[in-house]
Structure 1
Amino acid sequence: MGSPEKNQSKGGFFAAMTSGLSMFSNAMHRSVNGMLGHEGMEVINPEGGKEDAEEEAHRGRWREEERDGYWKMMQKYIGADVTSMVTLPVLIFEPMTMLQKMAEIVEYSHLLDQADKCDDPYMRMVYASSWAVSVYFAFQRTWKPFNPILGETYEMVNHGGVTFISEQVSHHPPMSAGHAENEHFTYDVTSKLRTKFLGNSLDVYPVGRTRVTLKRDGVSLELVPPPTKVNNLIFGRTWVDSPGEMVMTNLTTGDKVVLYFQPCGWFGANRYEVDGYVYNANEEPKILMTGKWSESMSYQPCDLEGEPLPGTELKEVWSRAATPPGDKYQFTYFAHKLNSFETAPKKLLASDSRLRPDRWALEKGDLSKAGAAKSSLEERQRAEKRNREAKGDQFTPKWFDQTDDITPTPWGDLEVYRFNGKYTEHRNAIDSSDAIETGDVQSTEFNPWQYADLSE
């Protein structure tokens, strides 16, 4: 395969990229292990070097007494998958659920529209892979989204003709399924995260399957994203990096995009940078791509050695939209739109994330009420599980069906869920109705529950 490793020996466009990746990774992991007498703790300042780590450890959103207490509580989980093991304080949450965060992938869906309309098969991959990169600016937020309740949903019908629905289809292990569609594409994802808690950091492995179908030609694309590392969870200012390889494959033609997300080095070197190529089915480079996942992506035709073709120039294909200045949770304008009741569809499902009392209370700044509501929801979910097991019942999602397909991923096998089309029928029936909706949608009681009365 015509990879950056091959090309650097010829002084190519991405010379020394991979050697730098391993050098920075090794240096960072040697940095401040064991600092302050806390075994297993590592603090990394993305804007500084080793000598800045101790000062960095005293920064962040935690008060000192909370930080030290939480460190003692969390040490027993080092090395473990903490996806659904730990009850976390609302102090570290943002007023959004994981189902809503899944919807952020469609902010720049116009890139998929462009891919569908594009006649050049390699430019099609440029548009589609830039769409896949575009969500990472939103994903760098350092606040944790709420874990969805089993049966919880999120729906959006008002973004560039795109309809989006997501549902929490499993609680143990936590799994979500999502579907988005407009006249140009369908997007389907089954998501199951695996984590590894490392003390003051968390590795996140996206055990998921993402498929996009471009409607004009029926082209099917599959995406494998890189893992993510959340640094300075307890000590220091939390920040996110996603070092590794993103691969998007055209399952119809065999064309492929391989993009390398560079790890952050000392004093922010290489932070946010993304470089790679579009390859044809014969694994020959056709277009080079470069940029920063926090800013923009650009492309340029290249020769078989990966060098830019003479007479061509680097052209921008995507740049991120402006963001609200000084936003508390680092939300984009699109993230605020996802949370808004004003943009909610008619007859919003009672299981929708917007209606969660803990999320709603946190958005209004009432941490005490948010914490109490979160605990209440988690207890009700546990009670439902006990009731379900006592009755011998099974939970069945409404909008997605589990398939017999088990898909291997770099981080484990995945049970795949498929959109069953019932939500489309549901939404079409509402939208075609002449009935006038009355009442305040915000007053709708959050209800993702399988049982109306646990005593029955």
Structure 2
Amino acid sequence: MGSKDDKPEGSGFFSSLSSSVKFWGTAVQKSVNGLLGYEGLEVINPDGGTEDAEDEAHKGRWKKEERDGYWRMMQKYIGADITSMVTLPVMIFEPMTMIQKMAELMEYCHLLNLADETDDPYMRLVYTSSWAISVYFAYQRTWKPFNPILGETYEMVNHEGITFISEQVSHHPPMSAGHAENEHFVYDITSKLKTKFLGNSVEVYPLGRTRVKLKKAGVVLDLVPPLTKVNNLIFGRTWVDSPGEMIMTNLTTGDKVVLYFQPCGWLGRGRYEVDGYVYDAAEEPKILMTGKWNTSMSYQPCDGDGEPLPGTELKEIWRVAATPDNDKFQFTHFAHKINSFDTAPKNLLASDSRLRPDRYALELGDLSKSGSEKSTLEEKQRSEKKHRESSGDQFTPKWFDLSGEISPTPWGDLEVYEYNGRYSEHRASVDNSDTIEVIDVKSIKFSPWQYPDLD
């Protein structure tokens, strides 16, 4: 993984910007040891300087007694991967699961439609990389999604003509797989998040493989995103940054786009900024791209030195949609659609995330019931695992198969799951049948279980 500092400098469009990034460095950090009595704890304020670290440390969502108790519980995990921890309090959760969150990348999937329709191979990468950037506005939410139960699924229809299905295919390690398709594209992902807890922050490594096939264009694209860091988990106001490099490669032609997510600097300088180039297969720049991942992206044709071509102008390619005012969980309108039964297909699978009682209770604001339901689900998942192991059984996903392919990533190798096509057959049989009784989706009991009758 690279950074802005790794980029060759010269007289190009971003040379002066590169110098400023080196000057400002990364966001202000200061140990609050001695201020609050905690050894080596860092608070990172994206908006201020070192002198206000103590004030920043006292801000955030936690009351003092909750904050101190949570710190005592979590400090033993410093340096560890906390991806699959199940003991976290529901007060830090949002009413959505990780496999629902995978579907948020579909909000601006019209950009993939446009990529498939264009005959310009470089604009194809402008559209597709802008689509990949668009989800970061939603990913800056500071609430944690629920970890999916093994076998849990999420289905979505009624958006840009797509059918979306995701499934939790492994519990240890936690892995999810997703598939979306419409007349223009096929989207496939295997996701295996890896984290590193640093005390008051956590680094999230997107150990996954994302592939997009554009049907008319006949090309396959591969995406490698940057890591994400969640700052001030316990002390201070929680905020998210994704410094580093995003690369999208056209595996068919060799063209690629390399975009640099700048780290947040002093007094917030550089926060959200993204810039880079679309390159041809010979690594000559063709189009420059610039913008902010929380606002918009623009592009402009350039010469071999990366300078804008005379007679051209910067044109906007994507802009974030309006969002609800004062939303408790910082949800977008599309995130609410993801949770809604309005985007659910007929005869929703009983394993769907919408039906989780802990998620639904949290959505209604009942934290006590949410916590109780979460504990019940986790206990049943442990019972299933014990029964499966004692019976010599293995869990087998319904909609995805382990391919046997091992995909390298910047953060480790990944076992790839492939969509097996059975969900499309299932959905077609339900949608086209006149004999299958249509069930009120809200009456369906959540059941992702391999052994549904196990107490």
How much does 1:266 deviate? Answer: 1.8
2:362 maps to what in 1? 362
Deviations 1:235-270 (A, max 9, x none): 111110000000000000000000000111122111
1:272 maps to what in 2? 272
2:9 maps to what in 1? 8
Distance in 2 (CA, whole Å) between partners of 1:18 and 1:380 is 53
1:109 maps to what in 2? 109
How much does 1:16 deviate? Answer: 4.4
Partner secondary structure for residue 43 of structure 2: coil
Where does 1:35-184 land on structure 2 (aligned, <5 Å)? 35-184=35-184
1:32 maps to what in 2? 31
Runs of 4+ in structure 1 deviating by more than 6 angstroms, as ranges, are none
Partner secondary structure for residue 278 of structure 1: strand
Contact between 1:4 and 1:276, CA under 8 Å: does it hold in 2? no
Going from structure 1 to structure 2, the CA distance change for 1:409 and 1:23 (only over 3 Å counts) comes to farther
Going from structure 1 to structure 2, the CA distance change for 1:258 and 1:33 (only over 3 Å counts) comes to farther
2:417 maps to what in 1? 417
Going from structure 1 to structure 2, the CA distance change for 1:113 and 1:23 (only over 3 Å counts) comes to same
2:288 maps to what in 1? 288
1:452 maps to what in 2? 452
Name stretches of at least 5 consecutive residues in structure 1 with no aligned partner: none
Partner secondary structure for residue 123 of structure 2: helix
Going from structure 1 to structure 2, the CA distance change for 1:26 and 1:162 (only over 3 Å counts) comes to closer
Letter in 2 for 1:453: D
Where does 1:171-320 land on structure 2 (aligned, <5 Å)? 171-320=171-320
Letter in 2 for 1:189: I
Contact between 1:4 and 1:15, CA under 8 Å: does it hold in 2? no
How much does 1:4 deviate? Answer: 8.1
How much does 1:430 deviate? Answer: 1.0
Contact between 2:5 and 2:22, CA under 8 Å: does it hold in 1? no
Distance in 2 (CA, whole Å) between partners of 1:195 and 1:158 is 33
Partner secondary structure for residue 13 of structure 2: coil
How much does 1:410 deviate? Answer: 0.3
Letter in 2 for 1:204: V
Deviations 1:119-154 (A, max 9, x none): 010000000100000000000000000000000000
How much does 1:8 deviate? Answer: 3.1
Deviates more, 1:118-127 or 1:340-349: 340-349
Contact between 2:211 and 2:222, CA under 8 Å: does it hold in 1? yes
Contact between 2:26 and 2:263, CA under 8 Å: does it hold in 1? no
Letter in 2 for 1:315: K
Contact between 1:7 and 1:305, CA under 8 Å: does it hold in 2? no
Deviations 1:299-344 (A, max 9, x none): 0000111111111100000001100011010100000000011331
Distance in 2 (CA, whole Å) between partners of 1:435 and 1:96 is 33
Partner secondary structure for residue 37 of structure 1: coil
Going from structure 1 to structure 2, the CA distance change for 1:56 and 1:251 (only over 3 Å counts) comes to same
How much does 1:6 deviate? Answer: 5.8
Letter in 1 for 2:267: F
Where does 1:403-442 land on structure 2 (aligned, <5 Å)? 403-435=403-435, 437-442=437-442
Q: How many corresponding residue pairs?
A: 452
Contact between 2:27 and 2:268, CA under 8 Å: does it hold in 1? no
Contact between 2:27 and 2:46, CA under 8 Å: does it hold in 1? no
Distance in 2 (CA, whole Å) between partners of 1:120 and 1:363 is 44
Distance in 2 (CA, whole Å) between partners of 1:19 and 1:290 is 16
